[in-house]
Amino acid sequence: MDNSVKIRTIEGDIPVSEMGFTDSHDHIWKEGGMEVLKDPDFAIDCPEKSRRELLSFKEAGGQTIVDMQPLGVGRGIEPMRAIAKGTGVHVIAVTGFHKGSFYDKTHFVHRYEEDQITELVTAEVMEGIEVNDYCGPIVRRSPSKAGAVKCASGYYKITPLEEKLIRIASYSSVKSQAPVITHTQMGTMGLEQAQRIKSYGVEPEKICIGHLDRNPDPFLHEQVLREGVYVQYDCVARIKYHTVSETLQLIIRMDQKGYGDRLLIGGDWGRSSYLRAYGGAPGLDFIPGSFASQMIAYGVPEGLVHKIFYENPARFFGFIKET
Ligand SMILES: [Zn+2]
């Protein structure tokens, strides 16, 4: 691990060696926005309950968590700062955008030029996250900066708006050096996302294709990994979609194909019904507290488990180089 490289957390930049056990995709706060309007179960909006979840993550051995809620869909940098303060958990916040259907025609993503939005996104990495997600004329930046850039597409298609937002995320990554993480719908369009983002100048090792395990097809995963990018398994133990064994077999198979250093895991427990403090299950502590040991019990080599939760996130999220 190169200790001169740092990750960008909401409490400042820290050396990659301090990152520790990392959940690469999760949620501690969502308040309002189209996702919550469509389904109120997506609301994660009680600071006290979110703090309890974060503390349970810490008690189970978790040290860093990436809150993947981007601009304009209920992200809240101020509540996030308050929730994380004093817990000892490093939180990485993101900028960029979710899938196009989450932005009403009145949102600025439809109205501003690509260059203008690229500047706004880049400023959230370089200067500070805008406390109101740029939803009004007054710009007030949090001391917290974004540590990654998100973009997304829908089921089997990339709309013209999503094309624009993917280019914006890519150019912001090139300018700021922050990594890009995507949302795929049911794992579709992952290969197309990887190829597009690369074509806009982002190095493959700075790209991570998300939710790919929603389509646990090893053929697809190999095609995507062949692009040199990371893939993220973040629907683990979501039994309504697929079994735990399927995910674990995928992990072992991708490692055997030589891609063990390109895998990241997150819980993506992005609904209140997934969080115990909100009355749901299994909770933010599941990944460090149960899933990591399930991997070992199943036969995933310990060295690979360590790579997935420590070394790979440190390499992927570390982008601040000391000068
Ligand atoms: Zn998510």
Q: In angstroms, what is the span from residue 210 Cα to ligand 1's centroid? A: 9
Distance of CA 254 from the midpoint of ligand 1 (Å):
23
Q: Considering its fold, how many domains does the chain have in total?
A: 1
Note the pLDDT of residue 161. 98
Distance of CA 322 from the midpoint of ligand 1 (Å): 31
* Å from CA of 211 to ligand 1 middle: 9
Measure 268 CA to ligand 1 centroid, in angstroms: 5
Q: How far is the centre of ligand 1, averaged over its atoms, from the C-alpha of 194 (Å)?
A: 18
pLDDT of residue 241: 87
Ligand 1 centroid – CA 323 distance (Å) = 33
Dist. CA 224 → ligand 1 center (Å) = 20
| Cβ count near 278 (within 10 Å) | 21
Cα(76) to centroid(ligand 1), Å? 14
**Helix %, strand %, coil % of the chain (to 5):** 45, 15, 40
Per-residue pLDDT tens for 17-65? 999 999 999 999 999 999 999 999 999 999 999 999 999 999 999 999 9
Q: Give residue 204 CA to ligand 1 midpoint distance, Å.
A: 21
Tell me the DSSP string of 173-241.
HHHH---EEEE-BTTBTHHHHHHHHHHTT--GGGEEE-SGGGS--HHHHHHHHTTT-EEEE--TT-TTT
66 CA → ligand 1 middle, Å: 10
Q: Name residues whose C-beta falls within 8 Å of residue 243's C-beta, 6 or more positions apart in sequence.
A: none
Domain that residue 124 falls in: 5-321
CB 179 within 8 A of CB 173: yes
- Tell me the residue type at 115: D
Cα distances from 281 to residues 141, 271, 273, 310, in angstroms, run 34, 10, 6, 25
Q: Give the distance (Å) from ligand 1 centre to CA of residue 67.
A: 8
Report how far residue 51's alpha carbon sits from residue 179's, in angstroms, rounded to the nearest whole number: 27
Ligand 1 centroid, distance to 26 Cα (angstroms) = 6
Q: What is the pLDDT of residue 322?
A: 77
Q: How far is the CA of 68 from the centre of ligand 1 (A)?
A: 6
Residue 152, H or E segment: strand 148-152
pLDDT given at position 180: 98
CA of 20 to the centre of ligand 1 (A): 21
pLDDT of residue 46: 98
- Note the pLDDT of residue 2: 77
CATH of the domain at 120: 3.20.20.140
Ligand 1 mean position, distance from CA 122 (Å): 21
Q: CB under 8 Å to 161, separation ≥6 — which residues?
A: 100, 103, 109, 110
Q: What is the mean pLDDT of each run of 10 residues along the chain (323 residues)?
A: 90 97 98 95 98 98 98 98 98 98 97 98 98 96 98 97 98 98 96 98 98 95 98 91 93 98 97 97 97 97 98 98 78
Q: How many CB atoms neighbour CB 72 within 10 A? A: 20
Between the CA of 75 and the centroid of ligand 1 the distance, in Å, is 11
Query: In a 10 Å sphere around its CB, with 0-12 CB exposed, 13-18 middle and 19+ buried, how is residue 252 labelled?
Result: middle
Residue 3: the pLDDT is 77
Helix axes 190-199, 160-176, angle to 10 degrees: 50
Distance 72 CA to ligand 1 centre (A): 14
CA of 262 to the centre of ligand 1 (A): 19
What is the structure's pLDDT at 323?
Answer: 66
User: From CA 33, how far away is CA 73, in angstroms rounded?
Assistant: 4
